[in-house]
């Protein structure tokens, strides 16, 4: 399942090789608008990627240049309270590793 998602993303990246990925929490979804030459891939097109029903979580991978640096942003993630599965994001993390992501930045809304 994750291999199909990995192949699809690599094909769409067309040579772009991001080493950094960001998981955007609530309120940070607009950060994807700062990406130059965005490549957008819906989670619906990626086997194993969970759907998020949380407002503000678009459910898409967006890759491109952020301040001149190749990055991949995950706009939306699965929450334990939505699925009841602690490992819901595991396939996504496996795909990120397969792409060559070596730095993962997790964000969230808290307070």
- Give all domains of the chain, ordered by start, each with its CATH number: 2-106 (3.40.50.1580)
Q: Name the E strands within 7-93.
A: 20-24, 36-42, 60-66, 69-75
Over residues 52-90, the pLDDT tens digits come to 665 555 689 999 999 999 999 998 766 555 556 667 778
Tell me how many helices (H) and strands (E) the chain has.
Answer: 3, 5
Supply the pLDDT for residue 110: 76
Length of the chain: 111
Residue 51 is predicted with a pLDDT of 72
Query: How far is the C-alpha of 84 from the C-alpha of 71, rounded, in Å?
Result: 30
Contact (CB, 8 A) for 57 and 50: no
Q: What is the pLDDT of residue 90?
A: 84
- The per-residue pLDDT for 11 is 97
Please determine, for residue 111, whether its predicted confidence score (pLDDT) is greater than 70. no
Task: Give the tens place of pLDDT for each residue, 8-51.
Answer: 999 999 999 999 999 988 778 889 999 999 999 998 899 988 77
The DSSP symbol for 67 reads: T
């Amino acid at each position: 399942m994750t291999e199909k998602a990995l192949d699809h993303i690599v094909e769409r990246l067309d040579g772009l090789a991001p080493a950094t990925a960001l998981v955007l929490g609530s309120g940070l979804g607009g950060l994807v608008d700062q990406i130059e030459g965005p490549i957008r891939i819906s989670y619906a097109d990626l086997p194993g990627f969970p759907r998020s029903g949380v407002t503000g979580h678009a459910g898409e991978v967006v890759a491109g240049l952020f301040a001149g640096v190749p990055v991949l942003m995950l706009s939306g993630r699965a929450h334990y309270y939505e699925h009841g599965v602690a490992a819901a994001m595991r396939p996504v993390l496996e795909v990120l590793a397969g792409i060559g992501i070596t730095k993962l930045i997790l964000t969230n809304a808290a307070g």
